[in-house]
Chain A
């Protein structure tokens, strides 16, 4: 376990350091960039003014010193200032975070439920047409990147059928008569992004619950239960399914991490105002502090989810537990 935590700390350090070094390794500096577009006359700042600005922002100090102050900033939760939105990056991210959590969390829960249900259905009909069809179909669907699924849903269900809104998280300028109405609006906007992410996540849960159920069904206690005359429905739901769900708990944390990555593009497809969309806006506006800030938070979320998965795996499964 210590080794795993160490490995995560190492990854975290790499993420933070890449974030720090990348802009500093590139040719030019922010003041060259700010003083003119490429190809334009860029002589807005004289050399002396540029030096004065560099020392004002501390960019002429040794790299190690800058690194320490960068780490200090991060520790205080300061992610810099967005050039485009004219706002603190941290507060921008903080405002967008709930939307991302809604989409990613919703998709993880939905795909968990659907995956386990389909996996169970597959095992109860093992070797039959349903099982084979589900296995092949979900393997293929699981490989389609979520943003392509999202585009198909957007065109089909929102564009042609008009069942869902085309984008955003709420109807603009709407006033709600009641809380239920506003909740409906939020859910309706979240439905398609959640579905798009869930469709590409389902196969992971499906394959795992199918494998796990097949293993559990071969165990002795299942045979004992059947020999005792426990009804088949109870054997399946109480004896088999419950024990098969153990590995799925850890998988949920892992899939959450994967969904965070997938949500970046899906949010951009649906113009959904979460972190991924924020990153897309930062890319479009070439807003580097914002881009770096959102990258750092997304990376933290993915690393955190994987760490949780690792810890749960060791806690829950006694066979891999402490030596």
Chain B
């Protein structure tokens, strides 16, 4: 988990430091396909654009996709799940039916279809992905709230006439917070992968230099693997993407182990 956090910090620093890069990510700044050297630490692509600059700016796109998906899907899913679990009855049954329907939808083909039809854009990827993936946190939170609901302090608060929204805000959501956080880290991973996948297929935002778009551009270069160019051109975005996804996954699994009562034995209410 420490390694994962360190990796995330490094990639975050790349994203923050993107404006410090000496070369622009969208304009040629040297000879095309130049191998890594003192002027271009990671070399240049077939248009002579600095790859380090592209990787740094791509980090911003990936982070935005991950963060956006996590916050939106986690927020919506958390509130809906807690609400359904607390209210129970008809609302709960309907919501869970919706969850069942959404969970079996094939995400990637649907994302491709929507991106091709609606036009590219990271904001749309986030929105669609949030629409499809809020059921995961909702399920986890609902299960947790179902058991919290039977606690005496929750019953006491309800007897004092606390409203649903007040109960969610003051008693239930803070309790499920850590678990929801772990689930949101996983969601961030899905967001990163989805954005990269679409950009890799050529459905990314053409005005943004994302890692998936870099890979797409590189793989369209004829005979790429018969040349030495892939060594810097493909490796840099590939490594960045893999590191981010793995770091998020390890962090997510670690947090789940810490906070999930089913994985930790008795009485897991989080710290």
Contact = CB atoms under 8 A, between A and B. Distances in A.
Main secondary structure, interface of B, reads helix
Interface stretch (B36-44, B69-77, B109-117): B109-117
Given A152-B238, A261-B109, A299-B106, A144 B225 contact: no
A159 B226 contact: yes
Interface string A135-166: 00001101111011001101100110000001
B12 to A, nearest CB: 19
B253 A295 contact: no
Contact of A151 (B97, B113, B238): B238
B116 A148 contact: no
Contacts of B100: 4, 7
Contacts of B250: 139-140
A283 B113 CA distance: 8
Interface residues of B, number: 39
Interface stretch (A83-91, A229-237, A262-270): A262-270
Contacts of A262: 108
B246 interface: yes
Given A295-B110, A299-B106, A14 B101 contact: yes
Given A139-B249, A158-B225, A283 B107 contact: no
A151 B225 CA distance: 11
Given A11-B104, A144-B246, A151-B234, A299 B215 contact: no
B112 A7 contact: no
A299 B246 CA distance: 28
Interface in A87-143: 139-140, 142-143
Nearest to B107: A261
Interface in A273-323: 279-280, 282-284, 286, 288, 291-292, 294-295, 298-299, 302-303, 306
Interface residues of A, number: 51
Contacts of B234: 151, 155
Contacts of B226: 159
Contacts of A142: 249
A7 B196 contact: no
A269 B219 contact: yes
B200 A147 contact: yes
A36 interface: no
B215 A279 contact: no
A26 B117 contact: yes
Given A264-B112, A283-B116, A283-B202, A14 B105 contact: yes
Interface in B207-244: 215, 219, 225-226, 230, 234, 238, 241-242
Given A143-B245, A155-B234, A295 B109 contact: yes
A7 B201 CA distance: 31
A145 B109 contact: no
Given A286-B116, A306-B104, A265 B200 contact: yes
B193 interface: yes
A283 B201 contact: yes
A299 B230 contact: no
B265 to A, nearest CB: 15
Interface of A: 4, 7-8, 10-11, 14-15, 18-19, 22-23, 26, 139-140, 142-145, 147-148, 151-152, 154-155, 158-159, 166, 257, 260-262, 264-265, 268-269, 279-280, 282-284, 286, 288, 291-292, 294-295, 298-299, 302-303, 306
Given A11-B101, A268-B201, 9 more contacts: A11-B105, A140-B246, A144-B242, A261-B107, A264-B108, A265-B197, A268-B200, A295-B110, A302-B109
27 contacts: A14-B101, A139-B253, A142-B249, A143-B245, A143-B248, A144-B246, A145-B193, A147-B200, A148-B245, A151-B238, A155-B234, A158-B225, A257-B106, A261-B106, A262-B108, A264-B112, A265-B108, A265-B197, A265-B200, A279-B112, A283-B112, A283-B116, A286-B116, A295-B109, A295-B112, A295-B113, A299-B105
A-B pairs, top 9 by smallest CB distance, nearest first, are: A159-B225, A143-B249, A302-B106, A298-B109, A295-B113, A7-B100, A261-B108, A11-B101, A306-B104
Interface of B: 97, 100-101, 104-110, 112-114, 116-118, 189, 193, 196-197, 200-203, 215, 219, 225-226, 230, 234, 238, 241-242, 245-246, 248-250, 253
